[in-house]
Amino acid sequence: MAGDDAALLERWAQDGDAEAFKEIISRYAGMVYGTCWRVLGSASEAEDVAQECFEALVQARTKPAGYLGPWLHRVATNQSLKHVRSE
């Protein structure tokens, strides 16, 4: 994981630093939303699923060991496909 992302994730996970999590969202929200929108083709559905992706990060038992961006991209893709299948 990029050193800066790892530090932010660590600050959030260990200390509950809301500013660190806010920075993670700021960095990756556009990519996550864009991925969801490309799969779903709907802005409102993409917003909902993108939020689910960040909730998945909050609820993850183990934090991503690799790079955070690709992890979030994979979650966004999988959550979007799960949404499509449930429709």
- Asked if residue 1 has pLDDT above 60, the reply is no
Task: Pull the structure tokens for residue 47.
Answer: 């917003």
Q: What's residue 2's pLDDT?
A: 54
Q: What's residue 3's pLDDT?
A: 62
Q: In sequence order, what are the residues at sequence separation of 6 or more whose Cβ sits closer than 8 angstroms to the Cβ of residue 11?
A: 17, 20
DSSP states of 28-41 as a string?
HHHHHHHHHHHHH-
- Predicted model pTM: 0.89
Q: pLDDT exceeding 90 applies to what percent of the chain?
A: 69
- Asked if residue 81 has pLDDT above 60, the reply is yes
Report the mean per-residue pLDDT for the chain: 92
Q: Which domains does the chain have, with CATH numbers?
A: 3-86 (1.10.1740.10)
pLDDT in tens, 29-55: 999 999 999 999 999 999 999 999 999
87 SS3 class? coil
Is the CA virtual torsion 16, 22, 24, 28 positive or negative?
Answer: positive
